[in-house]
Amino acid sequence: MTKPLRIALAGLGTVGGGVIRLLDTNGALIARRAGRPIEIVAVSARDRSKDRGVDITRFAWVDDTTALANVDADVVVELVGGSDGPALALARATLAAGKSFVTANKAMLAHHGLELARAAEAANVALKFEAAVAGGVPVIKGLREGAAANEIERVYGILNGTCNFILSKMEAEGRDFADVLAEAQALGFAEADPSFDIDGVDAAHKLSLLASLAFGTQPAFADVAASGIRHVLTADIAEAASLGYRVRLLGLAESGPAGLFQRVHPHLVPIDHPLAHVTGATNAVVAEGNFVGRLLFQGPGAGDGPTASAVVADLIDIARGEFGPAFAMPAAALIEQAPADSGERRGRAYVRFTVADRVGVLAEIAAAMRDAGVSIESLMQRGASHDEGGADGSVLVAIVTHEGPERSVAQALERLRGSQSLVGQPLWMHILA
Ligand SMILES: NC(=O)c1ccc[n+]([C@@H]2O[C@H](COP(=O)([O-])OP(=O)(O)OC[C@H]3O[C@@H](n4cnc5c(N)ncnc54)[C@H](OP(=O)(O)O)[C@@H]3O)[C@@H](O)[C@H]2O)c1
């Protein structure tokens, strides 16, 4: 058999350990598929003595992670994480040394993807990151290759398994956000510091990569408007259900004459849309192509097995000599598209207020909406519990608007800012069309 593809592996945690186990288990099959064996030759992490459940004494150990770039290997795989620090130092050193680089690190790519893509092209080596978006789901390959003939105007989906786990548990069991978050942390679905997940930052990293691949634009993470699910109440989920919707945290990107629009936000998803049926930690991405129509990519978005599956798929491509530019076209061809003004967007909205239970409050909200030109389709009112952020006697008022410009809703909320009638911040969710 021909020469093995030699791998230097940085990071031996959840995903790194998974890669070692996958190559141990499926090595012979992978060698047949790739045309040659894929062999790890050197590894690096923080703690050499840690028990990792796999034998790492057969690999050379390198203390300084960045020095992995200089070992006798063909490809460096980075599974450390973090947008900068050792991961970025290793990426730069590897590409500068003229070696291919594989990573699962969406944070680093969202911030430095363009620079790294240019460096990979200059060195004529691969930069691959299938595992960085939606874990085991081959959505990068799907966009780069399968849908490459299409103009894609919109890409959107459930990009964070932790948030989807929490929202679907809140929905199924009627429990509040803090309670389900604590369970997700106990089960290992959520980090001790969950803010990257629940505030939408992780999904925003992934969305910026999907948008670049889908539209041929430069990754523009700084232009993603991100908010998360902290303020979603079980009452919102119940109201949405009564209206025929489910609440999902969606990353959504569109490219058109108005510019590049990228947003991570809780949405009301119609019950007959496939994303409404994605539950638990599953991820799903929809891409709409002008010839293929609507594509749906769905599957496990995290975990050692699925993520390792995506990492090793990238290695198989490299072993076969099959790789192109990182973002599906040469970095110089990626357009720097101006961000779209969200105020110009039209859509329907769900807006929920927690209000003091007194005469005139509904009239005040209705007047603010009317004065801003927002047309109300329906209005619901119910008592709020303490869990729902309500003070004694406070009430939840939820409105659904007719289709109209987002600017009008923003103006109505601005008019109501500081009103003595409101208890806490209103929650604005967009309705997926
Ligand atoms: N977990 C998932 O399901 C998943 C899914 C998709 C993408 N990813 C991405 O995959 C990457 C790895 O995630 P993970 O879940 O495997 O993380 P993890 O379990 O925390 O493992 C991180 C590994 O990196 C090593 N490390 C941390 N800081 C280091 C440093 N300063 N220098 C050298 N090594 C260092 C750790 O060493 P020690 O073991 O010695 O402490 C550990 O082996 C991240 O970019 C993550 O976003 C993860």
State both tokens at 248: 């999902």
Distance CA 315, CA 29 (A): 14
Ligand 1 pocket, residue 80 CB under 6 Å:
yes
Residue 1 has pLDDT above 80, yes or no: no
What pLDDT, on the 0 to 100 scale, is given for residue 385?
Answer: 59
Instruction: Put residue 294 in one of left, alpha, beta given phi > 0 → left and psi -120 to 50 → alpha.
Output: beta
Q: Write down the pLDDT at residue 389.
A: 52
- Looking at the structure, do residues 113 and 179 belong to the same domain, yes or no? no
Domain shared by 276 and 422, yes or no: no
User: What is the pLDDT at residue 192?
Assistant: 76
Same domain? For 93 and 169 the reply is no
Residue 1 DSSP SS3: coil
Q: Which two tokens stand for residue 396?
A: 């939840």
17 CB under 6 A from ligand 1?
Answer: no
CB of 162 sitting under 6 A from ligand 1? no
CATH number at residue 426: 3.30.70.260
Q: Which of 79, 111, 187, 309 to mutate to test the pocket of ligand 1 (most atoms within 8 A of CB)?
A: 79
What is the position in ligand 1's atom list of the atom closest to the CA of 15?
16
Q: In this structure, are 106 and 168 located in the same domain?
A: no
Averaged over 257-271, what is the pLDDT?
97
Tell me the C-alpha distance between 26 and 7, whole Å: 16
With vertex at residue 304, the alpha carbon angle to CA 249 and CA 287, rounded to the nearest 5 degrees, is 40
For residues 197 and 125, membership in a common domain is answered with no
Pick the residue with more confidence: 357 or 401? 401
Query: According to the model, what pLDDT value does residue 392 have?
Result: 61
- Residue 424 pLDDT: 87
Give the span between the Cα atoms of 43 and 50, in whole angstroms. 13
Q: What's the gap in Å between 47 CA and the centre of ligand 1?
A: 12
For a pLDDT cut of 90, what percent of the chain falls above it?
Answer: 93
- Note the pLDDT of residue 216: 98
- Span 63-80, pLDDT tens digits: 999 999 999 999 999 999
Q: Residue 205: which pLDDT band, with cuts at 50, 70 and 90? A: very high
154-198 pLDDT, tens digit per residue, is: 999 999 999 999 999 999 999 999 999 999 899 887 777 899 999
Q: Which of 74, 102, 132 delimits the end of a domain?
A: 132
Does residue 384 have a pLDDT over 70?
no
For the chain, how many structural domains are there in total? 3
- Residue 305 within any structural domain of the chain: no
81 lines ligand 1 (CB under 6 A): yes
- Residue 376 belongs to domain spanning: 343-431
Residues 111 and 159 in one domain: no
pLDDT (0 to 100) of residue 390: 52
Cα(103) to centroid(ligand 1), Å: 11
Per-residue pLDDT at 387: 56
What is the tens place of the pLDDT at every residue in 280-318?
999 999 999 999 999 999 999 999 999 999 999 999 999
Answer yes or no: is pLDDT of 151 > 60: yes
List CB contacts of 136: < 8 A, sequence separation 6 or more: 299, 300, 301, 303, 305, 306, 307, 309, 310
Which of 22, 27, 205, 194 is closest to 104 using CA atoms?
205
**What integer pLDDT is reported at residue 136 of this predicted model?**
96
Indicate whether 259 and 144 sit together in one domain: yes
User: Does residue 82 sit in the same domain as residue 167?
Assistant: no
> What is the C-alpha separation between 32 and 367, in angstroms, rounded?
69
| Residue of 106, 104, 101 lying closest to 121 (CA atoms) | 101
CB 167, CB 247: distance < 8 Å? yes
Whether residue 184 sits in one domain with residue 122: no
Nearest Cα residue to atom 47 of ligand 1: 105
Burial of 28 (0-12, 13-18, 19+ CB in 10 A): exposed
